[in-house]
Structure 1
Amino acid sequence: MPGLYIGSTSGYSGKNMIVMGLGLRFQKEGLSLGYMKPVGAIPIERDGRLGDEDAYFIQEVLGVSSDPARVTPVVVTHDFKVQAFNGRSDDHVTPIVEGYKEISEGKDLTLVGGSGSMYSGKYCGVDGVHLVKTLGVKAVVIDRFQKELNYDYLVVLKETLGDNLAGVILNDIPPSFMDEINTLIKPFLESKGVKVLGVIPKDPLMGTIKVNDLADRLGGKIISAHGKGEQPVESFLIGTMQVENFMTHFRRHRNSAVIVGGDRSDVQLVALEGECPCLVLTGNLYPNDIILTRSEVLGTPIIMVRDDTFTVAKKMEDILSRHKLREPAKIKHGAELVASHIDFDYLKKELGLE
């Protein structure tokens, strides 16, 4: 039965969103699905059985279930890495092949979720390129826009995978770059034999995190407007500059959390009055009573953290790029994005489903 490997040019490119979006769409069309994630990077134990957190979650969304040892034959733990780097690594490919054979039995299509990039796992022989060839499945590779796209990487993958590469998906494309994609990048890639299956635009909802979750991830605590912890945060702005300069930047980034020192009440007040989604106060310093009062009146939560402003900003950047797709609203919206921006007719033809 046909299989489809969903990989990417780098980690955190949207593989889970694509897997769920494709799976839900194919199920809607009446196809029976199998799912596996050969290499798990987030070990978790359930009922005494080791598996991968993302794999468990995706199975729940798709309504499928299989033995964790088959779904994720390779779970990367610290001990696993030590053995691999010391040259004592076992044969990990055979269990993956056996797991795929069992899971795909009787299914119309089996989705195989990648981990990291297409070359992640090379050190122990379980990289995406090798698995695609070994399993004899088609591959879709996601390239997420992060300052630019990985054009060279995609062309090399086509040369490496040949007909096994069904196509690529360009994800998280900002509006300002869309014209260049359609007039320059897409034609270039397709001239090299790289089929662009879809271009998914940058979407504010998919990149948001709730204030409550943000506080937890930053290791901080909400000290005011506790009832507004469900508010979404799209991005962040650092308030270390003079008030006049900060106001200029803030007007352009209204939906940004403001990271500012606990002693900068001038910037804090401007951010509050400008209706920012939340304040993140650094240095473990409480704001004064005026700031706390305005926060409560305006319903703007304040998160207090121990770290300095620079450290918090680095953490925020990491959190917003890697925040997990867990909320029902995000899953539904992500599935709609995939359904409306990917060429399913072409993909089904490549998979022999028509």
Structure 2
Amino acid sequence: MTRKVYLASVGTRSGKSVLSLGLAMNYPGKVGFYKPFRESIVVKDGQPMDQDAILMASVLQLPAAEKLSPFVYDMYDPIPIDHIVKGYDEVREGKEFMIVEGSRNLANGYSCGISSFDIAKAVDAPIVLVSSTTQQSLESAFLFKEICEKRGLELKGVVINRCEGSKERDFLESKGMTVIGGIPDIPQISTFHVIEITEMIPSKVLAGRAGLNKIVEDVLVGAMSPQVAMRYMRRSKQKAVITGGDRTEIMLAALSTNTSCIVVTGGITPSRMVTSRADEIGVPIIMTEEDTLTVVEALEHLIARINPDDKEKIELITRGIRKGVDLDLIW
């Protein structure tokens, strides 16, 4: 009989992907993965795929990554629940432990009978809820628990993401919630390389190609005055600065501080003064036709992304989950 767990969340950036990977890497037997709905979509070999599915297919050596996350959720044209179950059954064969990863949002699919609650019940999987430490997420955990109880679903407990102390755990446990553990804050897994920006958004590198392998630890939007911007830039190390091509003073300020790259939005070519200085110090200037909000959202996905080739990140996550989560309660 295949063991299984359904990982649910009540909001974005909850840590489900990190927990999925950590569980998969720590389980001693053959692990399978299924995420019904694609969310962070990337194009691989000309085909849209889910970022998490690509990662798990790689680390678990599973064929056909597209089958691990086959559907796109559309409230007006929903996928029937039996199609979702059929997809699960196809990838479950031969596995000792199945990880089923739910959608980012508690409400997704609720009106169509294909919510996390519906899918967990259909595949007969106990649920582990992954929550951030925000008050809204912690409050929503109790709503989630109440729905599980009303539907007769097994909620094993909660895993708290970026759990630094005991305050959140004590709060949840004082109100009858089982806490399975916490995902420690691992700063290294929130970084990415400059070159990954060029892979994520349609863009052109105008200068500073020598710095494409630099690490990005922070993202700043240069929408303020140069004087204010300089104060923020001095505090932030190894940053990507997003600004318009006509904001020469902002870009020069960025180039005078610890900046990994500058992303120029709106398709406006920056001045020669900026590109020459960027070439001198090896800071890439990346120009895109996209607007600032689109670029910010793309970089947020990069912050959350785990590259299948990044063995160091994967090992950090594996150790962090082993240390912070009571795995016996999940197996």
TM range (shorter): 0.7 to 0.9
- Provide the rounded CA distance (Å) in 2 between the counterparts of 1:289 and 1:103: 54
Residue aligning to 1:351: none
**Secondary structure in structure 1 of the residue aligned to 2:127:** strand
Once the 2 structures are TM-superposed, how far is the Cα of residue 3 of structure 1 from its aligned partner?
1.2
**CA deviation after TM superposition for structure 1 residue 251, in Å:** 1.8
3-state SS of paired residue (2:260): coil
Q: Among 107, 120, 123, which residue is 1:119 paired with?
A: 107
Q: Does 1:325 align with 2:306?
A: yes
In 1, Cα distance between the equivalents of 2:265 and 2:231? 22
Q: Which moved more, 1:258-267 or 1:49-58?
A: 49-58
Q: Does 1:150 align with 2:137?
A: yes
Opposite residue 142 of structure 1, the aligned amino acid is: V
Please give the residue correspondences for 1:194-343 in structure 2 after superposition, counting only pairs within 5 Å: 194-307=177-290, 311-312=291-292, 314-323=293-302, 324-329=305-310, 330-343=313-326
Q: CA–CA distance in 1 between the matches of 2:47 and 2:243?
A: 44
Larger radius of gyration: 1
Is the 1:269–1:291 Cα contact (8 Å) retained in structure 2? yes
Task: Check 1:201–1:318 CA distance in 2 against 1; reply closer, same or farther (3 A cut).
Answer: farther
The residue correspondences of 1:112-191 to structure 2 (distance < 5 A) are 112-145=100-133, 148-162=135-149, 164-172=154-162, 178-179=164-165, 182-183=166-167, 185-191=168-174
CA shift for structure 1 position 24: 0.9
Could you say what the CA RMSD is over the residues aligned between the two structures, in angstroms?
3.3
Q: Which residue of 1 aligns with 2:61?
A: 63
Measure how far apart 1:151 and its partner are.
Answer: 1.6
Q: Which moved more, 1:4-13 or 1:51-60?
A: 51-60
* Alignment partner, residue 18 of structure 2: 17
* Superposed displacement of residue 194, structure 1: 1.9
Deviations 1:26-61 (A, max 9, x none): 0xxx32323323344578999999975643541232
Are 1:275 and 1:300, in contact at CA under 8 Å, matched by a contact in 2? no
Equivalent pairs counted in the alignment come to 323
The 1:154–1:275 alpha-carbon spacing in structure 2 relative to 1, beyond 3 Å, is same
Q: Give distance in 2, aligned partners of 1:219 and 1:46.
A: 15
SS at 1:197's partner residue? strand
Query: Structure 2: which 5+ runs fail to align?
Result: none
Asked if the contact 2:10/2:106 (under 8 Å) is kept, the reply is: yes
Distance in 2, matches of 1:38 and 1:238, equals 34
Taking every aligned residue pair, what percent have the same amino acid on both sides?
28
Q: Given that residues 5 and 98 in structure 2 are in contact (C-alpha distance below 8 angstroms), is that contact kept between their aligned partners in structure 1? A: yes
Encode CA deviations 1:162-187: one digit per residue, 9 max, x unaligned: 471112222245xxxx34xx13x211
